[in-house]
């Protein structure tokens, strides 16, 4: 396999599934012998984590100042590192990175990844961003890929689904850690519903809290862990107080011990309104959790209703509570679903699978580019 010089660009300051995907892909491709550079804002979480992982990171301006400077900065980076593949992820960096790639004498291959399931308008602006500037678009699930083909009229041969991969060695089944439970105030015999999410409005944490107010009537010994940080934290605390769920719903904040937290959950809930292919869902399946998830984006590609979990309509706390109730009352069914989910992740959604598909795509694009040069 050819070794490539690859530049990943990301203009977000936050930290969620998108940024973790950039980090894991850059780290994994570096271990496979490729030269990796990440371009991200100086004070971003991605920049901090990249440096911690030993991945070379160049800082970039974003926002209003970035529009006037980013293109020249990207042109300099492409030339400095003789970049062959420029892989863009955010909005602002995708515009400026792709334009720089098109103007650069290095003539890099340009890949644009769409991480979300929110439909992209069929406008001239988006046609330029997705159809004209990049050589190909990648998505994190087949549903989003098909959306681009059907709604945005992209060439099927120029859109590829490469789901985010899971570290199946780190995320694997295991016994709950009693020390973790005790530290979180979970009592012996208490049922645990949980989720892992960046606290954004579209993640539907308010729906999960509403579902918990219903579940509390059915199960006296139950609690809910919402693992993650974000802009909705204070609003969710207020909702918990209004529903008198203090001590029942626990906002843990940002945690790094995600595998251990998943293993103490009896049911993993994903109440999102929009998703590409959520990493936390794949991680929950890898740890053999029983899952109830909203039927949005790429979720139905891994949650086969009644087999690897239950699907519910988004924004429906009653349906969410009813299906969680089923799994709590029938743990053997949840165990079987979890085992089938783990098998699916190992077969189709490992990090190695993601990296191999990405390498194969890069190689085919570079080979095509070389033939056009001759």
SS3 of 137-191: EEECCHHHHHHHHHHCCCCHHHEEECCCCECCCCCCCCCCCHHHHHHCCCCCCCE
pLDDT tens figures, 141-171: 998 999 999 999 999 999 999 999 999 999 9
Q: Is the pLDDT of residue 12 over 80?
A: yes
pLDDT tens digits for range 191-217: 999 999 999 999 999 999 999 999 999
Q: How far is CA 48 from CA 26, 86, 259, in A?
A: 14, 21, 22
Q: Could you read off the pLDDT of 88-145 as tens digits, one per residue?
A: 999 999 999 999 999 999 999 999 999 988 889 989 999 999 999 999 999 999 989 9
The band of 374, judged by pLDDT with boundaries at 50, 70 and 90, is low
Identify the pLDDT of residue 1: 65
What's the CATH architecture for 5-165+350-373?
Answer: 3-Layer(aba) Sandwich (3.40)
**pLDDT, mean of residues 242-252:** 95
The answer to whether residues 154 and 130 touch, using CB atoms and an 8 Å cutoff, is yes
Provide, rounded to the nearest whole percent, the portion of the chain with pLDDT above 70. 99
Is the confidence at residue 20, as pLDDT, over 70? Answer: yes
Return d(Cα 121, Cα 116) in angstroms, integer: 13
> For 178-348, which CATH superfamily applies?
Glycogen Phosphorylase B; (3.40.50.2000)
**pTM of the complete model:** 0.87
Matching fold, domains 5-165+350-373 and 178-348: yes
C-alpha dihedral, 312 to 313 to 319 to 320, nearest 10°: 60
**Where do the domains of the chain lie?**
5-165+350-373, 178-348
For the chain, give the mean pLDDT. Answer: 95
Tokens of 211: 């579902």
């Amino acid at each position: 396999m050819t070794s490539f010089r690859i530049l990943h660009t990301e203009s977000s300051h936050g930290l969620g599934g998108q940024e973790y995907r950039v980090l894991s892909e850059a780290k994994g491709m570096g271990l496979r012998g490729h030269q990796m550079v990440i371009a991200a804002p100086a004070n971003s979480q991605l920049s901090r984590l990249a440096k911690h992982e030993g991945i070379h990171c160049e800082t970039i301006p974003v926002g209003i100042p970035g529009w006037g400077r980013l293109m020249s900065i990207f042109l300099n980076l492409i030339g400095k590192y003789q970049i062959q593949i420029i892989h863009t992820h955010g909005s602002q960096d995708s515009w400026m990175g792709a334009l720089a790639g098109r103007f650069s004498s290095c003539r890099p291959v340009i890949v644009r990844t769409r991480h979300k399931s929110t439909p992209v308008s069929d406008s001239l602006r988006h046609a330029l961003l997705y159809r004209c500037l990049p050589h190909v678009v990648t998505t994190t699930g087949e549903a989003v890929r098909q959306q681009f083909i059907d709604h945005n009229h992209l060439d099927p041969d120029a859109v590829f689904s490469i789901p985010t991969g899971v570290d199946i060695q780190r995320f694997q089944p295991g016994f709950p850690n009693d020390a973790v439970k005790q530290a979180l105030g979970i009592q012996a015999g208490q049922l645990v519903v949980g989720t892992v999410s960046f606290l954004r409005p579209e993640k539907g944490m308010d729906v999960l809290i509403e579902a918990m107010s219903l579940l509390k009537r059915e199960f006296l010994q139950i609690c809910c862990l919402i693992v993650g940080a974000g802009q909705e934290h204070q609003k969710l605390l207020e909702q918990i107080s209004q529903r008198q769920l203090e001590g029942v719903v626990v906002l843990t904040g940002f945690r790094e011990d995600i595998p251990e937290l998943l293993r103490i959950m009896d049911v993993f809930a994903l109440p999102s309104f929009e998703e590409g292919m959520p990493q936390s869902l794949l991680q929950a399946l890898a740890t053999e959790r029983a899952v109830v998830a909203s039927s949005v984006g790429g979720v139905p590609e891994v949650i086969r209703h009644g087999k690897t979990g239950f699907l519910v309509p988004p924004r429906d706390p009653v349906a969410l509570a009813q299906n969680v109730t089923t799994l709590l009352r029938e743990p053997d069914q949840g165990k079987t679903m979890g085992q089938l989910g783990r098998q699916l992740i190992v077969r189709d959604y490992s990090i190695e699978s993601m990296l191999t598909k990405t390498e194969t795509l890069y190689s085919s694009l570079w080979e095509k580019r070389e033939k056009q040069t001759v």
